[in-house]
Amino acid sequence: MERTSPLLTDLYQLTMLQAYFDQGMTDTAVFEFFVRKLPPGRNFLMAAGLEQVLSYLEQLQFSEQELDWLAACGRFSGRFVDWLHNFRFTGDVHAMPEGSIFFADEPILRVTAPLPQAQLIETRVINLLQCQTMVASKAARVRLAAPYKLLVDLACGARMAPKPACCRHGPVTWRDLTAAPTCWRRWNGAFRSLAPWPTPSLRPTTWK
């Protein structure tokens, strides 16, 4: 997974981080991810996104360009920006295995870390888990609706998915074929094959 900038967050996460730094608030905090209620018509959700979350946390680091921007934007002190040079995630993560079924008010991921670290990652962790869980849960419902049908993973088409990583839910939710060569190559052991080109929904509109 390519590196995600720590600046991909809400501004208030950074201003709170500076407040914690100024006040010396570095005690251990515990953050949990859960959904308050299930969407209408759903009686379960499927946990996904753990791989992306762990990759993000392992690579969490401010680049020199990002630190220069923070120093120049006028909102943050020089001492705080200097402190961010060595900012890394050193906490622990406990989570349900990907593909686990969960329900409302049931934590699927718990972060235990120094308060500034737990605070900064909150927005991006929610972003990753929410998107991946949404796609996996939808795919699981498709499989339940057609348990004996050959299912083609169209969701990872570049025009229809938020990003190619969505196709990783084929292995999680038991889809059979994929329309994206990059997904077949990466998760070859999970998909049987590429979807056959003549599939009507895959045929280009310029083909007559």
This prediction's pTM: 0.76
* Alpha-carbon 72 to chain mean position: 30
CA atoms of 119 and 111, how far apart (whole Å): 10
pLDDT in tens, 149-169: 776 665 554 444 555 455 555
Question: According to CATH, where is 3.20.140.10 located in the chain?
Answer: 1-144
**What is the pairing mode between strands 193-194 and 177-178?**
parallel
pLDDT in tens, 169-193: 555 544 455 555 545 455 454 544 4
Architecture category of domain 1-144 in CATH: Alpha-Beta Barrel (3.20)
Cα torsion angle, 89, 95, 98, 104, sign: negative
